[in-house]
Amino acid sequence: MIISTLCRHIQRLTGTSRPRVVRLAANGVPKTRSLSSTTTSNSTADDVKSTADAPPEMIDNRPLARPRRALLYCPGSDARKVAKLSHICGTVDSVVLDCEDGVAHNKKEEARHGIREAIQTVPFGRSECAVRINSMDSGFAEEDLNVVFSGEKIPKTILLPKVETKEHLDSFCEKLIKALGKRKTSRDIHLLTYVESAKGLLNLKDVITHAIELSEYNLFSLEGIVFGSDDFCASIGATRTAGASETLMARQQVVVTAKAYDLQAIDVVYIDFKDIDGLRAQSESGAKMGFTGKQAIHPTQVDVIQAAFTPSAERIQWATRLVDEYHKSQSEGKGAFVFEGQMIDRPLLLQALNIIDISRAVQTNK
């Protein structure tokens, strides 16, 4: 389906015609895009308002994005694990009901219907209800969407794996429209896409800009990029190691590209769920690299991961004092100012504001 035909389908479904869209960035900055002219696939990160361009006065009062510090997978085909979700819901930021890698081929149908039932019955509380469907090339994605969106309640978030090209997004939109049928969504469906191959990594910028173009019709909003290390290593012929040095460059590239478009960046799974010390070290390392969250495969990983992606009390106090001092210096008509022995410039101020944002988002989402 060519893009113009696809866009007409989206317009009929949503009742919109290239509206003005305000999207929340990963760090909470409202990204306002003027849609008076046609957006092309040549859009760059400069087309999106970012923290670096906004006045500090506006940044300090911006709305908050949903935190996704830990994304906990639960295979939809495992009724026992689904039944236990009530014990973790309200604690973990995102519960991902899985149709893909966590489900055997002969269990896909069972997983779809199990997920639809879970969406209706599980008390998710503050936890995000997300669904990972199968990839567009798998032959399973269309039926995944048809079943998952056939219930009275529908998922707020879809995770789309193995996205390598713009055509994968076009196919997703086409199938999502069919799955929604005559149901008109009053709000965006949140979308997170995966980088799981060398091709997907090289094409990530094009995929993101195309997703932003498609999101202008309010069918979905792209909110984050997830890095899948196991499939990526298979793609490049690398061997997984405990230190994950073989994926360092790719992880950094995912962070840089995602953040260039103010998207969340979700780090790799730590496979050995019994190794809590190793999990903590990798989680803290990922947070320092710029990742905003991490995938989890066992409930025991959630607290460690979310702690790593939450600023400490000391960092929050430091950031709060710095911002207070900034406002004081502004009221006195001063430019640069000294704070605790350091000359404060804009990058350090923005770091402090980001720490406060994360803390506020976590508190708000409790």
Catalytic residue chosen out of the listed positions 93, 230, 345, 357:
345
The answer to whether 104 and 127 have CB atoms below 8 angstroms apart is: no
DSSP H or E run through 344: strand 342-344
The residues with which 344 forms a beta bridge, in sequence order, are 337
Rg of the chain over all Cα atoms, to the nearest angstrom: 21
Residues near 5 by beta carbon (within 8 Å), at least 6 away in sequence: none
Residues near 331 by beta carbon (within 8 Å), at least 6 away in sequence: none
Could you confirm whether 46 is annotated as catalytic? no
Length of the chain: 366
The answer to whether 261 and 208 have CB atoms below 8 angstroms apart is: yes
Closest CA to 43 of 207, 167, 164, 165: 207
Closest CA to 104 of 143, 147, 134: 134
Residue 70 corresponds to which tokens in the numbers above?
A: 């830990």
122 phi/psi in degrees, rounded to 5 = -75, 130
DSSP helix/strand/coil, 291: coil
Q: Which residues contribute to the annotated binding site for substrate?
A: 132, 196
Q: Which residues contribute to the annotated binding site for Mg(2+)?
A: 196, 231
Closest CA to 89 of 127, 49, 130, 45: 127
Q: Which residues contribute to the annotated binding site?
A: 132, 196, 231
User: 39 burial class (0-12, 13-18, 19+ CB within 10 angstroms)?
Assistant: middle
The answer to whether 73 and 296 have CB atoms below 8 angstroms apart is: yes
Closest CA to 271 of 101, 66, 141: 101
Q: How far is CA 184 from the centre of its chain?
A: 23
What's the one-letter identity of residue 121?
T
Residues carrying an active site annotation? 345
